[in-house]
Amino acid sequence: MAEANPDLLARAIERWVHVKPYLPKASELHAIIEDMQAAQAPGAFCDLERMVEDGNREARAKGMDWFFRIAVRHMPDGSRQRYVERLEGWRAEEARRTDAGERSGYWKPEPGEVEDINIRVSRFVSEGWSQHEFNEHVRRTGGNI
């Protein structure tokens, strides 16, 4: 892996850990890097759009609180690189609202409210709830935890 671009390698590892629970082989990381480089090639924007559409469709079908969108990264050499960004939780909800042209609302906590919420959230964590299960619970209860 010494010859791999460190930025692409980090993104390949990040992509891997979202899908697989075990360590990847070098050849698997190389394959992911090659896929990312192909997606960044000139004319590959349609592939990114397809990846976003497929990701959002799959997330909706599985009831996941993920939202995929095309983002732009400004590179040190002055170029711009497009990539597919995956958002979760409140960031996904805000991105969905923005895409739909809706106004987003931000919550401002009262003094002491954050500490109280953290205590309640730690109870869910100690019980082994996943992020998705917690988000679904909050959604079902209208934000009451």
pTM for the full model? 0.40
Angstrom CA distances, 51 to 43, 44, 78, 88, 110, stand at: 14, 11, 25, 17, 40
102 and 115 share one domain: no
Confidence of residue 43 (pLDDT cuts 50, 70, 90): low
Q: Report the greatest alpha carbon distance in the chain.
A: 52
The H or E element spanning position 71 is strand 66-74
Question: Residue 87 pairs with which residues in a beta bridge?
Answer: 67
Q: How do residues 46-65 score in pLDDT, each as one tens digit?
A: 678 888 888 888 888 888 88
Of 99, 75, 72, 92, nearest in space to 83 by CA: 72
- In this structure, what DSSP letter does residue 115 have? H
**Residue pLDDT, tens place only, 75-118:** 777 777 888 888 888 778 877 777 777 765 666 677 788 888 88
Residues 68 and 98 in one domain: yes
Domain that holds residue 9: 1-40
Same domain? 20 vs 55? no
E strand or H helix that includes residue 10:
helix 6-17
Distance CA 133, CA 60 (A): 15
Residues 4 and 24 in one domain: yes
Count of domains in the chain? Answer: 3
Same domain, 31 and 57: no
> Is residue 55 located within the same domain as residue 98?
yes
